[in-house]
């Protein structure tokens, strides 16, 4: 993303982090303004040209439009909940 969830530096990054924060999920972020190498190289690696990018367990989910649409569709919460279940093995 550009900036941080507390201080986003772009409307798209603000929107996607607000969705995730409002849902109460914890997430890590990388500020690509502070990390120009990542800003330069991640689009090729991801095959996705822009920021923000939501990644879950090593998979690119999409940018602001896709995540917003998935949120409206009700697809986002189950996707993240299932990812958390598979990432944290049962005791």
Residues that bind ligand FES (CB under 6 A): 2, 10, 12
If you write DSSP's letter for every residue of 21-47 in order, what string do you get?
Answer: HHHT-------TTT-HHHHHHHHHHHT
Binding to ligand GSH (CB under 6 A): which residues in 10-29? Answer: 10, 12
Helix 64-73, helix 76-87: angle, nearest 10: 100
Q: Indicate the SS3 state at residue 49.
A: coil
Residue 71 binds ligand GSH (CB under 6 A): no
Q: What number of residues does the chain have?
A: 91
Residue 8 binds ligand GSH (CB under 6 A): no
Give whichever of 12 and 29 is closer to ligand FES, judged by the CB atom: 12
Residues at the site binding ligand GSH, with contacts judged by CB under 6 A: 2, 10, 12, 39, 50-52, 63-65
């Amino acid at each position: 993303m550009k900036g941080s969830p507390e201080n986003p530096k772009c409307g798209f990054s603000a929107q996607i982090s607000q969705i995730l924060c409002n849902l109460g999920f914890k997430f890590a972020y990388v500020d690509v303004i502070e990390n120009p190498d990542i800003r330069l190289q991640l689009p090729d690696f991801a095959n996705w040209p822009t920021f923000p990018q939501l990644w879950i367990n090593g998979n690119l989910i999409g940018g602001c439009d896709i995540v917003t649409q998935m949120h409206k569709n009700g697809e986002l919460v189950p996707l993240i909940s299932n990812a958390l279940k598979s990432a944290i093995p049962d005791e």
